[in-house]
Amino acid sequence: MSEADPPNNVLLENNATTTDGVLQGSNHGEESTREEHQDTNQLTKESLKNEPEDAEKEAEEDRKLGRNQEAYARVTHTLKGHSRPISSLSFAPDGTKLSSSSADGVILIWKVILPEKPSSDRGGVVGHQVEFMSKLVDGASEDEENDRPREGINDLAWSPDSEYLVSGSDDHAIHVWAPSSQSLPSNPSSSSSSSTTRPIRKLLGHSHCVYCVKFNPIGTLLISGSFDETVKVWDFLAGKLLRTLPGHSEVVSCLDFSRDGSVIVSGSFDGLIRMWDTTSGQCLKTMVVAQETNAPVTFITFTPNSRYLITCSLDSTVRIWDYRSKEGTVMKSYTGHTNIKYSIPARVISRVTTTNKLDPGNPIGDRDLVLMGSEDGSLWIWDLQSRELVLRKASHQDSIIGISVHPTNPSIFATAGLDKDPSIKLVSLSCPPSSKT
């Protein structure tokens, strides 16, 4: 496995070629919140860090940054309502809603209002909770006395039209919700029946907890990964299982579609990345994320042009892959944060997707950024091309377990914390410091 730098500005350009014709052909406890599963699958090494050396390195990085990081990435709102660790966080594609799920079995939906002209002194976003949904134990209403706890929710995915929300749950089912058609309560902590809704459909077929879910780009297909070690492909409109993709030997922890929907990629705690033909279900390629550690893969996504993959794994490394080579080539990697236990997603903020990219006051500036949360509660931001650390900022009191970037204004993103701090923070980026030292 080699590591090389791709040419500048090719990772995210929207007019790049897609994956068509590129690939060559080439296979627990019942209550399973995302973090509880990962506790049992963390790396066996006592530590991946040398504490004195790391302290010196961090101090040097702080001196090098030497900038007002509070002003660069400012928390504008803190949203609360979950009683247990947050498991997933997702903006709707239209940018008007933010959803969160938790081990408490509850989904909260927050309305996000962006001003017509973002204000640099106000952070450019107003967010408040306007809709609440509760996932109920099968056969029991929210108001009934019931000794059984609600099943935890592991992942969320919005349909491309922002009308439907699906959740993958510990009850082995995928739940389909239509939040836009429900009444809007005023209190996220309320447990009254007026503030809860039931799913409009359940998709059944997995034999264990559903860990991850993802729509294809046009919203006709849904894929799911599970602790039963399979990927399942669903006809979302018909609510029908189309095919099962076996091949992983541990939990399927992450999934994505290519931009044209023709290829599915899956990652697993077995340390493998597998690529599949969406139509036939054929496995096109298998890659090992880290030969030296066999680190579990916890997050995977295509870049917007589908030419590269971004992965996170439990060796505290974010990698960008050119998967078109025979065994896959790591083009860039980002390290320094701590990620040895939990599924923490990485996100890319691209200047290509910013409408005001030529404005010198654009918060994204003249570069693409990689965002990552750390298990010490800090937020990390790197320059994508140079791998320079742009920001390291204390954000949550516990591990950052979720990050979601606003789809129409990528200078705004949300982060979510684990059990000591099950809150959501909205963050607004100001103009980044110069990449020149």
The pLDDT, as a whole number, for residue 393 is 87
Contact 366, 390 (CB under 8 A): no
Taking every pair of Cα atoms in the chain, the longest distance, rounded to a whole number of angstroms, is 62
Confidence of residue 79 (pLDDT cuts 50, 70, 90): confident
* Domain extents in the chain: 34-141+148-429
Strands 412-417 and 86-91: unpaired
Taking residues 189-202, report their average pLDDT.
Answer: 61
Taking residues 11-23, report their average pLDDT.
Answer: 33
CA-to-CA separations, 369 to 39, 183, 389, 410, 428, in angstroms, rounded: 29, 38, 10, 10, 14
Compute the distance between CA of residue 224 and CA of residue 217 in angstroms, rounded to an integer: 15
The pLDDT, as a whole number, for residue 133 is 42
CATH superfamily of 34-141+148-429: YVTN repeat-like/Quinoprotein amine dehydrogenase (2.130.10.10)
Residue 371: strand pairing partners:
347, 381
Chain mean pLDDT for the chain: 76
Lowest mean pLDDT among 40-44, 170-174, 408-412: 40-44
Tens-digit pLDDT profile for residues 45-69 = 333 344 455 556 555 555 555 555 6
Taking residues 77-83, report their average pLDDT.
Answer: 84
Give 87: exposed, middle or buried? Use CB within 10 Å, 0-12, 13-18, 19+: buried
Choice between 25 and 266, residue whose per-residue pLDDT is larger: 266
Within a 10 A sphere around the Cβ of 357, how many other Cβ atoms? 13
Taking residues 345-370, report their average pLDDT.
Answer: 64
Lowest mean pLDDT among 135-139, 185-189, 223-227, 363-367: 135-139
pLDDT at 21 > cutoff 70: no
The pLDDT, as a whole number, for residue 351 is 66
Tens-digit pLDDT profile for residues 310-332 = 999 999 999 999 999 888 999 99
Lowest mean pLDDT among 113-122, 271-280, 384-393, 416-425: 113-122
Which two structure tokens, joined as six digits, stand for 83? Answer: 């009683």
The pLDDT, as a whole number, for residue 245 is 97
Tens-digit pLDDT profile for residues 212-243 = 999 999 999 999 999 999 999 999 999 999 99
Choice between 265 and 78, residue whose per-residue pLDDT is larger: 265
pLDDT at 27 > cutoff 70: no
CA-to-CA separations, 29 to 38, 336, 419, in angstroms, rounded: 11, 32, 19
